[in-house]
Amino acid sequence: MTRRRKLGLSAALGAVLSVVLIAAPAPAAQSSGDPAATAAVAELARTGQAVVPADFVHVMGYTPVTARLSDGQVRTVNPEGSCSVPGEGRPFTFSTACQAHDFGYDLLRYAQRQGEPLADDARAAVDSRLAADLHSECAQTVTGSEYAACTATADVFAAGVAFNSWRQMSGPPIDSSGLPRTGGLVLLGLVLLLAPARWARRAARRWAWTSRLVASPVRSPVSA
């Protein structure tokens, strides 16, 4: 790729990111946060499990369940959650980590619906748990060059989620149109543009487009 083409692509990516950022919602006023959700997020970040608030099922419309990562650790998850990206992270085993992340985001939504949204650091804690779980899955399930590809993909996932949290001012996750998804794909494209050619080819194969984008409760940047 010529230098001129790289500069042109960078300018185009920057323009799209500008649109995404301009469209970001204004930060909501902070409260002390719903006590049950605050405790649940803290425990989720620390252990990966959480005591579900008493009226969570009524407010959010589903019953959380537990699932295990490849190393046997138990996670509280949204059973309908998924990795909202093309291919859902396959061939890597990220599904349980993504479902746990979806549940964590639903705790943030729950608190908002109760009229007591959580502080900014709650979303960061949920995102950090996802990053740790993705890397744990890589360590448990693949080796060699596959491990390198897995951890690189996990890093892209984590960067995309962090980007979308920043774009949404670290407030409660929102469901919106294609903008967060577009931001995630732009971020992925930027990573592939700047990555070594060998890894870029590998990552491009891993992230081959499926027939549709997977719907999920959470739309993170690389996802949703």
Concatenated DSSP letters of 147-162: HHHHHHHHHHHHHHHH
Q: pLDDT tens for the chain, 224 residues: list them.
A: 554 544 444 444 444 444 443 344 444 445 567 899 999 999 998 999 999 999 999 999 999 999 999 999 999 999 998 887 666 677 888 999 999 999 999 999 999 999 999 988 899 999 999 999 999 999 999 888 899 999 999 999 889 888 888 888 777 777 643 444 444 555 555 555 544 545 444 444 444 433 233 333 333 333 33
pLDDT value for 87: 65
The structural domains of the chain, with segments of one domain joined by +, span 29-206
pLDDT for 33: 78
Q: What is the pLDDT of residue 66?
A: 96
| Helix, strand and coil percent figures for the chain, each rounded to 5 | 60, 5, 35
Model pTM score: 0.67
pLDDT value, residue 82: 84
What type of residue sits at position 155? D
